[in-house]
Amino acid sequence: MTFDTLGLSDVLLKTLTDQHFSKPTPIQEKAIPAILSKKDVLGIAKTGSGKTASYVLPIWMNLQERLLVKNRHANVLVLVPTRELAEQVKEVFKIFSKNLLQPVKTLAVYGGVSINPQMMGLQGVHVLIATPGRLLDLLGSNATSLSAVETLILDEADKMLNLGFKEDMDKIISLLPPERQNVLFSATLSEEVQNIQQLLLKDPISIKIDAEEDSIDLIKQVAYIISDDKKGPFLRYLIKHYEMKQVLVFASSVHQVDAIVNKLRKNNIDAKAIHSKKSQGSRTEALAQFKSGNLRVLVATDLMARGIDIDALPFVINYELPRSPKDYIHRIGRTGRAGSQGDAISLISTNELDHFGVIQKKMGRQVALIDGEQIKLTS
């Protein structure tokens, strides 16, 4: 199937060609026509499946079909769980707006930065991308209204619920016009997501894209058994010994992320941290440097992983295991993308072995275990 069979305009097809999009992904094949027809949609697809474009393209198409009036109230509201995803979604809207016949204003609002510029930027906005907390701040200050919203997108609804945004989401939904199009995307269909979709969606078109069985086959996985006190030196050994130029390291806490970065820097390894305690400017800069290849090591918590999408990231290292097998798969899924090979390395202490066994069972894969204690750290 090609994009020109999905009902998109010539203008958007030209932009797709200019951006080297050759054919739609499975979620795009099904979601674009459904959203174009202004139906409610439930889309279940893993991160990295192309779902952002699957709603951005039909939204642009639907907005272009009528005369847009500048006002302070958005026509389209996209709710996202994190600042990084808000910026990522805004960038996709920007990419596909280049050839539009009518100018359309898009704004991303989130916490951690001054609210005043965001208030000023709301003038004339058509598409508002927001984290729930900051949107409620703006609504509470009477800086905007949701009275003109015609389409609501909940992106990564499962992550928003996991982060405790259920009450905020309920407040926002209660302020929306009753007649509107609703689109809900989630990586999983948890009980909480099912409850939301039953309350929110009216006669939805349901789309479920199963993760391809071979999606992690492009990832070479290995685990080293190493004591907690030796994980730091062993991480530095791996980076230097294998001459890693671009590696994403995951740790479980903000404190651990900062400690890892400090040790790497003291050993002349260029590294930066990305976590919820960092300022938005710092996070944006670190991510941009890492994506461009100008930063050797990025150390992150699981919360920040949603905004890290790099087609050919060669290495992911689990400094410690996540609690959930799903989070493990999400972590290593940052590599081995877009047909590129990738390496996922886990550093496992003896007290993590049982948990790693559970992860392997859930994943349906056996991972080679190597005794890291026997390796001489010469690099």
Tell me, what CATH number does 165's domain have?
3.40.50.300
Same domain? 75 vs 151: yes
Residue 203 maps to a domain: yes
Domain count, the chain: 2
User: pLDDT at position 213, please?
Assistant: 42
> Is 37 a domain residue?
yes
Q: Which of 97-101, 181-185, 351-355 is predicted least confidently? A: 97-101
Distance CA 36, CA 15 (A): 17
pLDDT in tens, 136-164: 999 999 999 999 999 999 998 888 888 78
Q: Which of 146, 177, 208 lies at the terminal end of a domain, its last residue?
A: 208
Q: Are residues 177 and 249 in the same domain?
A: no
CA 190 to chain centre: 18
Taking a C-beta distance cutoff of 8 angstroms, is the pair 15, 93 a contact?
Answer: no
* Residues 168, 244 within the same domain: no
CB 233 within 8 Å of CB 281: no
Give me the chain's average pLDDT, please.
Answer: 87
Higher pLDDT, 249 or 46: 249
Answer yes or no: do 145 and 269 share one domain. Answer: no
Q: Are residues 224 and 193 in the same domain?
A: no
Min mean pLDDT across 171-175, 235-239, 307-311 is at 307-311
Task: Report pLDDT for 214.
Answer: 40
379 occurs within a structural domain: no
Q: Are residues 244 and 101 in the same domain?
A: no
Q: What percent of the chain has pLDDT above 70?
A: 92
151 plus 238 within the same structural domain: no
Predicted model pTM: 0.67
Domain that holds residue 121: 3-208
Regarding whether 198 and 245 lie in a shared domain, the answer is no
Q: Are residues 364 and 244 in the same domain?
A: yes
Picking from 154, 173, 208, the residue at the C-terminal end of a domain is: 208
pLDDT for 134: 95
Pick the last residue of a domain from 145, 177, 208: 208
Which residues have CB under 8 Å from 26's CB, separation 6+?
45, 49, 209
